[in-house]
Amino acid sequence: MGLFITFEGGEGCGKSTQAKALRDRLKQQDIPVLLTREPGGTSLGARLRRVLKTRNNVALSPRAELLLFAASRAQLTQELIRPALEAGTVVVCDRFLHSTLVYQGYGRGLDLATVNEINRVATGGLVPDLTVLIDMPPEQGLARKRTPRDRFESEDPAFHDRVRKGYLVTAAADPDRWLVIDGCLAKKTIAGIVWDRVSTQLPKRQHGA
């Protein structure tokens, strides 16, 4: 099996940049790698991404939002992620199930047990080997975003504060699987911290440990 690494964080934290940097570093080491994102990664996911991110869909209910994310995740897991992992590829995903737990659970106020169960069904029980949280005060991350903002970027400050709290609580509950990094650090510094952690896990996976 390959290694499954996900990047999480609030709006504008720089997780997408770091996911790409890790992909590039792995390629330089001649390690098979797949970079994908959520929602997206598949034809269905790309269509759902437009629905979920467009500001015109502000009336979308939290439960509908939850299920649309789950549909995108189910397709991505079956179509891309599991086959790549089974082939021994390192999979790097920009957002995964923890985004739904935090955004729809903590942010929207949906029952956390329900969100977790829907995530379990959508992924078939697949969880990341490592989740990198790029943590940053919401106001600083949002200041990096261009206008017009999407549905989530346009939420009020209290929503983004709940999202950040949700990430930190979730990471603290499972420290062995999470790497929390200060998103205010320089990009190269963050990339170095990520590589230091990932590189310790690669040999174990490559030798079947």
Identify the pLDDT of residue 194.
Answer: 98
29-66 pLDDT tens trace: 999 999 999 999 999 999 999 999 988 766 899 999 99
For residues 96-117, average pLDDT:
98
Burial of 2 (0-12, 13-18, 19+ CB in 10 A): buried
Residue that wins the pLDDT comparison between 176 and 205: 176
Domain of 122, in residue numbers: 4-206
* % of residues, the chain, pLDDT over 70: 96
Residue 206 has pLDDT above 70, yes or no: no
For residues 6-28, average pLDDT:
97
Q: For residues 192-202, b (16+ Cβ closer than 10 Å) or e, as one string?
A: ebbbeebeeeb
Token readout for 58 is: 């502000």
Identify the pLDDT of residue 208.
Answer: 42
Residue 192 has pLDDT above 90, yes or no: yes
Identify the pLDDT of residue 199.
Answer: 95
Structure-token match 């989530």, residue found: 152
Nearest to 63 by CA among 122, 111, 113: 111
Identify the pLDDT of residue 56.
Answer: 78
Number of structural domains in the chain: 1
Identify the pLDDT of residue 55.
Answer: 80
**CATH code for the domain in which residue 198 is found:** 3.40.50.300
Identify the pLDDT of residue 1.
Answer: 81
129-182 pLDDT tens trace: 999 999 999 999 999 987 778 999 999 999 999 999 999 999 999 999 999 999
Identify the pLDDT of residue 203.
Answer: 62
The per-residue pLDDT of the chain, averaged, comes to: 94
